[in-house]
């Protein structure tokens, strides 16, 4: 009789128990921290980029009840989240996603940035020591405008830089972008180094030029996913509204960030 192939999203309740390894704890903890991750994202952080190795272990963790998995289509990667059993293992009270988030593409884009930083900072003698995504920040910040993430990087000399992240997922509205910056000003987010990462290079440039037409001091640094993931953080992949120079992440951490020039944005100077 032909063997029935196990569905990608179903547990094999007859599978043998597994021994949880230190890497399993790291992978489970990483997923609990960001809610959702794809196969390739897990492969990047835990399996040296090998999707095959990641899938093999993830299958065992699924069968053992430590993770949940969704499949949006046959041609798309699996989406993973932790189970209550996994949180019990970690002694964590984090919320468990019951279904895929309606904002899933945006969440996965934020994860891409986080992974790029986690993997590349060592080449800059830096370390990602704290990361809070927007869904965590909503519980502690009272502002109506929340950045997509706040995170800290500790450098080899002991200094610490706090970055605010804004990820653009095909929103295509310069007016919406500038309105969010107004909210950033009110919340104090612009006291940090604000990084803007977008998909479409033309729209990233359009946002940069829109900001240049305002009276806001250049506190936002622009790049694309393609540059972040292909060239890396050691390259000068960031630009700002103030000039056409290019900067590396380490450059940004060393620039003086004063409060001068933080006056109101004129939205009339832009075209939505």
Do the Cβ atoms of 114 and 153 come closer than 8 Å?
no
Residue 111 CB-density burial (10 A; 0-12 exposed, 13-18 middle, 19+ buried): buried
Name 132's Cβ contacts closer than 8 Å, sequence gap at least 6: 140, 149, 150, 151
Phi, psi angles (nearest 5°) of residue 216: -85, 135
Percent of the chain at pLDDT above 90? 32
pTM: 0.81
Q: Report domain 1-100's class.
A: mainly alpha
From CA 107, how far away is CA 134, in angstroms rounded?
9
From CA 89, how far away is CA 43, in angstroms rounded?
22
pLDDT for position 218 = 58
From 81, 163, 89, select the one nearest 121 (Cα to Cα): 163
User: What average pLDDT is seen over the chain?
Assistant: 82
From 82, 86, 76, select the one nearest 39 (Cα to Cα): 76
Residue 13 CB-density burial (10 A; 0-12 exposed, 13-18 middle, 19+ buried): exposed
pLDDT for position 31 = 63
Q: In what order do the strands lie in the sheet with 67-71?
A: 37-38, 78-82, 67-71
- Return per-residue pLDDT of the chain as tens, 272 residues: 444 445 666 666 556 677 888 888 887 776 666 788 899 998 988 888 899 999 999 999 998 888 889 988 878 889 998 888 888 887 777 777 788 887 888 889 999 999 999 889 989 999 998 898 887 787 776 667 788 999 999 999 999 999 999 998 777 888 888 888 888 777 777 678 899 999 999 999 999 999 988 876 657 999 999 999 999 999 999 999 878 899 999 999 888 754 433 444 444 544 44
* Continuous H helices in the chain: 22-34, 39-46, 51-63, 84-90, 104-120, 134-137, 174-187, 201-212, 225-230, 249-254
From CA 15, how far away is CA 209, in angstroms rounded?
57
From CA 240, how far away is CA 130, in angstroms rounded?
25
* Cα distances (Å, whole numbers) of residue 261 to 214, 217, 239, 258: 10, 5, 18, 9
Do the Cβ atoms of 149 and 193 come closer than 8 Å?
no
Tell how far CA 200 is from the center of its chain.
17
């Amino acid at each position: 009789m032909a063997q029935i192939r196990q569905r990608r999203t179903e547990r094999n309740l007859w599978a043998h128990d597994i021994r949880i390894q230190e890497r399993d704890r790291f992978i489970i903890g990483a997923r609990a921290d960001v809610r959702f991750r794809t196969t390739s994202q897990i492969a990047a952080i835990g399996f040296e980029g090998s999707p095959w190795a990641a899938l093999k272990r993830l299958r065992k963790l699924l069968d053992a009840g430590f993770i949940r998995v969704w499949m949006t289509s046959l041609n798309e990667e699996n989406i993973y989240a932790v189970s209550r059993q996994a949180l019990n293992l970690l002694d964590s009270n984090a919320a468990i996603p019951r279904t895929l988030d309606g904002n899933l593409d945006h969440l996965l884009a934020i994860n891409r940035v986080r992974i790029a930083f986690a993997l590349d900072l060592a080449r800059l003698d830096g370390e990602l020591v704290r990361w809070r995504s927007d869904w965590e920040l909503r519980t502690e910040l009272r502002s109506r405008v929340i950045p997509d993430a706040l995170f800290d990087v500790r450098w080899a000399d002991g200094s610490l830089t706090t970055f605010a992240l804004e990820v653009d997922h095909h929103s295509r509205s310069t007016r919406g972008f500038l309105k969010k910056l107004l909210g950033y000003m009110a919340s104090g987010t612009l006291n940090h180094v604000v990084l803007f990462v977008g998909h479409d290079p033309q729209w990233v440039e359009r946002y940069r030029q829109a900001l240049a037409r305002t009276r806001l001091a250049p506190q936002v640094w622009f790049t694309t996913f393609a540059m972040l993931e292909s060239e890396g953080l050691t390259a000068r992949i960031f630009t700002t509204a103030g000039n056409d120079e290019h900067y590396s992440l380490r450059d940004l951490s060393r620039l003086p960030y004063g409060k001068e020039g933080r006056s109101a944005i004129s939205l009339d100077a832009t075209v939505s």
